Amino acid sequence: MTEPILHPRTKQQLQAALGQPPHALVLSGSIGMGKEHVALWLAAELVGAKDIANFPYLHVVRPEAGKAITIEQIRQLIASMTLTVPGAQAVSRLGIIIDAHTMTVEAQNALLKTLEEPPTGTVLLMTSAQPQALLPTIRSRAQTIELLKPPLSQLAPHASAQQLKLSDGLPGLTFALAAEDQEHPLVQAAGIARELLAASAFNRLTQIEKIVKDKAMISSLLLIMSHMAHAALLTGKNSARWQKVAQATHQAQLDQRAGVQPKLLLTTFMLSL
């Protein structure tokens, strides 16, 4: 598996984790950082697999679009991590929870016993853009490594200048844009953002019902809008328009962190663009 492009400090921390694997590790970082790729690469390194997708003792849990990770999904993960595996590898079974902060409280509580008494030879990797949303008891039983943005010079050979501006140097988003990966949620958000910016206020409001169903998409949309405004303001073109977009996006992000109801948040945002 391709080694991810990493900030030197992040790379040092991950190498230390490979040398002495923790039983549970949270990979934190903003949306678009490429946390899932890092988790899969780390999993492959831990078990020496060239193609981690075909490793038989890996169980990956992820939320369905707009939904939380359920207790049943976590129970299935726990069951997979207690399987008897032939051989005497230091790490023989792996679990990965993508967007771990979307676990329900019941799911997180179900995971606690496994974290308190991890089966021998297991490593659980969790990715999260909001590690503070994990229960303190979860965080205290796992090591956390924050993924930092690598230097732009490392990303420059892999993307255009425009793609680097739009991604703001986030590796996951940079590679998704370069590959024109239409399945990537941030690439989808970029498409929605362009449509909204070109639409009338009335047409923007008609999109709220579709967007509000997916909380993750709201976060992705606001992130992309913020990056688009930042990149445009650097060029100095139509600065009044983009300043308005930047202010509206910033306020929406503050409202989201404050727990404002999503439909109200989006309505205010759409009218402020």
Residue-wise pLDDT tens digits, 154-183: 999 999 988 998 899 999 999 999 988 888
Examine the pLDDT at 145 and tell me if it is beyond 80: yes
Which pLDDT value is given to residue 221? 95
Give, for 96, the enclosing helix (H) or strand (E): strand 93-97
Examine the pLDDT at 186 and tell me if it is beyond 90: no
Mean of pLDDT values over 57-83: 94
Determine the length of the chain.
Answer: 273
Report the amino acid identity of residue 27. Answer: L
Give, for 241, the enclosing helix (H) or strand (E): helix 239-257
Which pLDDT value is given to residue 53? 92
Domain shared by 87 and 142, yes or no: yes
Stated pTM of the model: 0.87
**What does DSSP say about strands 58-61 and 24-28: parallel, antiparallel, or unpaired?**
unpaired
Examine the pLDDT at 270 and tell me if it is beyond 90: yes
Domain shared by 52 and 137, yes or no: yes
CA dist 96 and 75 (Å) reads 13
For residue 24, the domain's CATH number is 3.40.50.300
Examine the pLDDT at 87 and tell me if it is beyond 80: no
Examine the pLDDT at 88 and tell me if it is beyond 80: no
Residue % of the chain over a pLDDT of 90: 82
Which pLDDT value is given to residue 16? 97
Residue % of the chain over a pLDDT of 70: 100
Domain shared by 214 and 92, yes or no: no
Domain shared by 12 and 139, yes or no: yes
CA dist 19 and 15 (Å) reads 6
In a domain, 80, yes or no: yes
Domain shared by 95 and 220, yes or no: no
Which pLDDT value is given to residue 207? 94
Examine the pLDDT at 242 and tell me if it is beyond 90: yes
Examine the pLDDT at 239 and tell me if it is beyond 80: yes
In a domain, 255, yes or no: yes
Domain shared by 127 and 187, yes or no: no
Mean of pLDDT values over 120-128: 96
Examine the pLDDT at 237 and tell me if it is beyond 90: no
Domain shared by 68 and 112, yes or no: yes
Residue 213 in tokens: 């169903």
Measured between its terminal Cα atoms, the distance across the chain in Å is: 41
CA dist 149 and 157 (Å) reads 16
Domain shared by 134 and 26, yes or no: yes
Q: Residue 69 carries which DSSP code?
A: B
Domain shared by 114 and 228, yes or no: no
Which pLDDT value is given to residue 171? 95
In a domain, 239, yes or no: yes
Report the amino acid identity of residue 197. Answer: L
Domain shared by 131 and 187, yes or no: no
Domain shared by 127 and 195, yes or no: no
Domain shared by 118 and 241, yes or no: no
Tally Cβ neighbours within 10 Å of residue 105: 10
Higher pLDDT, 64 or 142: 142
Examine the pLDDT at 48 and tell me if it is beyond 90: yes
In a domain, 167, yes or no: no
In a domain, 170, yes or no: no
Q: Residue 131 carries which DSSP code?
A: G
Final residue belonging to a domain, choices 118, 146, 174 = 146
Mean of pLDDT values over 147-154: 95
Higher pLDDT, 2 or 43: 43
In a domain, 160, yes or no: no
Domain that holds residue 190: 182-272
Final residue belonging to a domain, choices 102, 126, 146 = 146
Mean of pLDDT values over 220-239: 90
Mean pLDDT, rounded, of the chain: 94
CA dist 46 and 142 (Å) reads 17
CA dist 130 and 144 (Å) reads 12
Q: What Å distances lie between residue 21 and 16, 84, 267, CA to CA?
A: 8, 20, 46
Domain tally, the chain: 2
In a domain, 216, yes or no: yes
In a domain, 84, yes or no: yes
